[in-house]
Amino acid sequence: MKLNCHICNRELEAENDPLSIDCGGDCWGCIGEIEAEMGCESSIAQVRKEFSEGLREDWMPSPETDYEFNSETGLTISIQLFRPLGEPWNNEKFNLKIVSKNSGINEELIEHASLSTNIDGKCVYTSASKNLQNKTDLWYFIVRKQNKWGQPVLVAGNA
């Protein structure tokens, strides 16, 4: 009986598919990316190796982000993008969305911006919206091609 990955439905332990290794019901193709997203250095190294071997053609590492929220200056988000083999991704276009999830039920778009990284793969964005401290469940999302990464924003008084 053939088993398939619970995440992507790839056949597990398929001959000639090194990403089909069974990792407890899920394939290494999915688990490797998840572990790399979480910052596991050995998984990042392995996924990069698999990318260079042509096994993960569409893989992109998650962006490094940080934010600062201040009721006076608003929300400033710092973003750095990397190429799959680890070098900074300069002049890369991506989208940033700032949303309020309203207790996770409805998503209200606060801002949307099309941005680009500088020569060091970095970008800093300051929100134009002045009433963010009144929002609950504030998040920002980095969107690149079919990939989307989210981060909650802790706003004093709403945390």
Q: Residue 130 above 80 pLDDT? A: no
Residue 124 and residue 26: Cα distance in Å, rounded? 37
Q: Residue 70 above 60 pLDDT? A: yes
Q: Which helix (H) or strand (E) element contains residue 43?
A: helix 41-52
Residues 21-43: what's their mean pLDDT?
95
Residue 83 and residue 18: Cα distance in Å, rounded? 22
Q: Residue 63 above 90 pLDDT? A: yes
Residues 95-124: what's their mean pLDDT?
90
Q: Identify the band that residue 5 occupies on the pLDDT scale cut at 50, 70 and 90.
A: very high
Q: How many of the other CB atoms lie within 10 Å of CB of 65?
A: 17
Q: Please report the pLDDT score of residue 134 as a whole number.
A: 73
Q: Please report the pLDDT score of residue 136 as a whole number.
A: 72
CATH numbers and ranges of domains, the chain: 1-58 (no CATH), 64-152 (2.60.40)
Asked whether 139 and 117 are in contact (CB, 8 A), the reply is no
Q: Please report the pLDDT score of residue 104 as a whole number.
A: 59
